[in-house]
Structure 1
Amino acid sequence: MLKKPAPSQFFRHFLNSFRILGSDIILPPFSTLWRHRAMLYQTTINEIKTRHAGSVLGLFWLVIYPLLFLGTYAIVYLYIFKVRFPTLGANDYVALIFCGLIPFLGFSEALSYGVSSVVASANLIKNTLFPIELVPVKAVLVGQATQVVGMILLVIALIFLGKLSILSPLFLLVWICQILFSIGLIWILSSLNVYIRDIQNIVAVLTLILMMLSPIAYTEAMVPAAMRPFLAINPLYYIIISYQSVLMLNTLPATRILIPLFSMSVLTFIGGFWFFNRMKKVFSDYV
């Protein structure tokens, strides 16, 4: 008869398997970013300056851009659609829109810069000083420039409206989840775009669709009950609702929001790194 392994042997085997899983799959994306943090910071700052160097207004566009979007949303929903909330005045409603609009702009710019980032940086594919897996990360961080400025403007507005609370700083945790999710997604999309160049065109269209389907200027309660399950398909739903909850509504997001938000962020980040590293081995054959 075969002898059953002792409980201690089984437990030791389980710990070894978990240790291997952590060292081979879970930790590498985090350690890669941490190891190259100084290089990422410097190249991101340089890229932001370069992108705005040739314009008349320069970095001031980072202020104008979110304000133009906010003004458009406010006019359309307040004066054309005449949306009203019993518990929110006009100023509060505009702030609620801003809470959802700013992260959407940060996410959409990360997509815009990131999807084609590997193809645009073909010269770095075999560069050991700046690993190619950092190129999509830099693109995501460059896309956060608008969100950084927008968040500063939003916090100033919330101070004047008296909406800041003890829960407000939690938006930083939501922001971290958003960045992790964006980096993981861009790792996947940018590597696929090397082989299927239509990806960048498809993403541009999907970004416009997501803008309409994300709860930026409306709440979940305004959506017909039959349509609410479809909100769960949109990853931005969890991100935007979380921002609006802690910044504007002064409540913690529901568990049904927080658990998917954290899970999709970490799993996409880890899975995206794994996928990118498998795909990058043959990048040089296609770019």
Structure 2
Amino acid sequence: MLNKHLKPRFLYNFFNSFRLLFSEVIFPPFVTLWRHRSMLYQTTINEIKTRHAGSMLGLLWLFIYPLLFLGTYAIVYLYIFKVRFPTLGSNEYVALIFCGLIPFLGFSEALSYGVSSVVASANLIKNTLFPIELVPVKAVLVGQATQVVGMGLLLVALTIIGKLSIFSPLFLFIWICQLLFSMGLIWILSSLNVYIRDIQNIVAVLTLILMMLSPIAYTEAMVPAAMRPLLAMNPLYYIIISYQSVLMLHQLPSTRILIPLVSMSLFAFIGGFWFFSRMKKIFSDYV
């Protein structure tokens, strides 16, 4: 008789916990972005224009910046290291580099703008019109300006060399995963930076290390077997390999790449928002 009474109670507690998990942890970050989507769009566009307003070339830097990086990578790996692929010509190899370089630039700029975004926006901490949760998100979106332009240039280049395929549009899904991961990570790092200002300096160094450890101009097969576990510890590895797969190799990313990519993106996005929401309650004591 006791079990008959306990079973309904157990099921009620289980489903109630499940409902609370969705309503208080999983849904809030998505709802917040959707509710303020128009405000985010306008403030992001204004921020991009403001950042380039004082320079002579203005928004042209969005084109020059990725092209300078690409040119440097191409010269170093093609003519100094003399890297060659049996199945890729020089133009195709440059496009392969671009497939990895563009998302890296988008990610690194998101980090650069995002880590100190809360400290730089201390006046918004108690602002109800523009919630402080949106400040790191706006920084990530501003950092995507270079990636938007770079992706446009890359798609034109792929069209010219005949590398577009039915898999190419899937880069949009990978981009969404990258955005979710970046936002979650920046929510965490920007809130920690309020209390530990060294975070922004540490991130600058880590970004350089990530650039060397990310398969931008080399493939996994070129890495010694003993060092490949290091690649698996780098979140950019899953992002870059996925872009290269759908844009250059004309194939879906393998499950060992795709499953970690989706999992880490959702976990970072949901967990980052949850972490930020709890840390923001004492921001005003430190900024």
Q: TM-score, normalised by structure 2?
A: 0.98
Aligned residue number for residue 106 of structure 2: 106
Aligned residue number for residue 228 of structure 2: 228
Aligned residue number for residue 189 of structure 1: 189
| 1:14 CA drift (Å) | 2.9
* Aligned residue identity for 1:231: L
Aligned partner of residue 130 in structure 1, secondary structure: coil
Alpha-carbon distance in 1 for matches of 2:5, 2:276: 38
Alpha-carbon distance in 1 for matches of 2:181, 2:124: 24
Residues 92-145 of structure 1, C-alpha deviations (whole Å, 9 max, x = no match): 000000000000000000000000000000000000000001000000000000
| 1:20 CA drift (Å) | 1.2
Aligned residue number for residue 244 of structure 1: 244
Alpha-carbon distance in 1 for matches of 2:33, 2:275: 16
* Aligned residue identity for 1:139: A
Show the 5 A alignment for 1:60-209: 60-209=60-209
| 1:18 CA drift (Å) | 1.4
Residues 3-24 of structure 1, C-alpha deviations (whole Å, 9 max, x = no match): 3457666444433321111001
Aligned partner of residue 249 in structure 1, secondary structure: coil
Alpha-carbon distance in 1 for matches of 2:218, 2:131: 42
* Aligned residue identity for 1:109: E
2:59 paired with 1:49: no
Aligned partner of residue 2 in structure 2, secondary structure: coil
* Aligned residue identity for 1:45: I
| 1:36 CA drift (Å) | 0.3
* Aligned residue identity for 2:235: P
Aligned residue number for residue 276 of structure 2: 276
| 1:178 CA drift (Å) | 0.2
Residues 24-80 of structure 1, C-alpha deviations (whole Å, 9 max, x = no match): 100000000000000000000000000000000000100000000000000000000
* Aligned residue identity for 1:246: V
* Aligned residue identity for 1:3: N
Aligned residue number for residue 211 of structure 1: 211
- State the identity as a percent: 85
| 1:248 CA drift (Å) | 0.5
Aligned residue number for residue 253 of structure 1: 253
* Aligned residue identity for 2:170: L
Aligned residue number for residue 34 of structure 1: 34
* Aligned residue identity for 1:182: S
| 1:229 CA drift (Å) | 1.1
Alpha-carbon distance in 2 for matches of 1:5, 1:237: 51
| 1:230 CA drift (Å) | 1.1
Say how many residue pairs are matched. 287
Alpha-carbon distance in 2 for matches of 1:239, 1:190: 22
Aligned partner of residue 3 in structure 1, secondary structure: helix
Residues 123-176 of structure 1, C-alpha deviations (whole Å, 9 max, x = no match): 000000000010000000000000000000000000011111111100000000
Alpha-carbon distance in 2 for matches of 1:126, 1:12: 38
* Aligned residue identity for 1:286: Y
Alpha-carbon distance in 2 for matches of 1:180, 1:82: 36
Alpha-carbon distance in 2 for matches of 1:86, 1:5: 69
- The structure-2 alpha-carbon separation of the partners of 1:5 and 1:247, relative to structure 1 and needing over 3 Å to count, comes to farther
Alpha-carbon distance in 2 for matches of 1:180, 1:229: 24
Q: TM-score, normalised by structure 1?
A: 0.98
| 1:208 CA drift (Å) | 0.4
* Aligned residue identity for 1:112: S
Alpha-carbon distance in 1 for matches of 2:5, 2:230: 48
